[in-house]
Structure 1
């Protein structure tokens, strides 16, 4: 049995289909998923000097992304609704992910992504996040209170800093248990294939 780390930001468009697909792939392959929320804002600002999503900063890229995402979701049988705001503020939802028991995180993450990209809801609203916690079978008052703890805030900050240290530049990003990194919903299957049979590849300047 292997392990896939799933690094995600709730505002990320392509993380929506990835979040909805990853459990079935992991179950089929017998692998575990480690759910790793982080914040893209500090990553974009540190690496590219951006204070907004690249899809807003470069409108031609944004127009293509929304059309491509529509194709991706249609192929996967996923509903897609333009979010009420883009990018959304996923801070509260990210903290709640870490406040939840690990067994409840998958259901919560999927509920938040559905609220964002299938319902067009504001996922920064506590009422929406509470609804997603209920969908995961947990007590929203208890989880929301725990999400405000300094330990949870520090863990999310540490996740974001770790993501940057490890070379993450976007969401979704996947790490196989040997540290191999894959970026993008369209590389999810590649990550699982790597777990099953890592490739011997050449890297720039010599062997891997």
Structure 2
């Protein structure tokens, strides 16, 4: 479909709600006639600017308990078994760099979904190279090519630039959806509304 409207999908690998969106967004976008831009980034620097040294779900136990119960409910509606990884939030730096490295090759979405499933459906540690390797192979990419690329100064700089851009447009959590006119939508429960806005506008 030529000239399809575009929706930017900003996601953080350590975010359970980002996982829920990642595992359903492509089918919904296709149905709506929307082109997706997968934009992995890091929430750590954004949280740090607010004086937080970790996820608010870890800082505030009652909020964290609710989040895990809520994501389990939402996951079940998608037919997913959701688990809390042993370490939360996980270090997602190398995962984000790998996902960014995949943009030119077109494997960012497949890799991202595989890594999200590894973390929140299997409870694995996405900072481990072995886990990343399995996700890369699922995306049809050889780790010996992708991993060195993700560690290049170009990709590192690209991730820093994405984080700064996210800050500049007012992103403060994940997932975030940004329509072509700049309208912002925060949270997995706003995905359908974001797609409708991207397609039909105000």
TM-score, normalization: structure 2?
0.96
Please tell me whether the aligned partners of residues 97 and 159 of structure 2 are also in contact (alpha carbons under 8 angstroms).
yes
**2:9 alignment partner, SS class:** strand
Distance of 1:94 and 1:196 partners within structure 2? 28
Distance of 1:58 and 1:187 partners within structure 2? 23
From 167, 171, 175, the counterpart of 1:168: 171
Distance of 1:40 and 1:87 partners within structure 2? 11
Gap runs ≥5 in structure 2: none
Alignment of 1:1-208 (within 5 A): 1-46=4-49, 48-100=50-102, 101-199=104-202
**1:159 alignment partner, SS class:** helix
Distance of 1:38 and 1:195 partners within structure 2? 21
Question: Which has the greater radius of gyration?
Answer: 1
Gap runs ≥5 in structure 1: 200-208
- Which 10-residue stretch deviates more, 99-108 or 173-182? 99-108
TM-score, normalization: structure 1?
0.93
> Deviation above 4 Å: which 4+ runs of structure 1?
none
Post-superposition shift, 1:2?
0.7
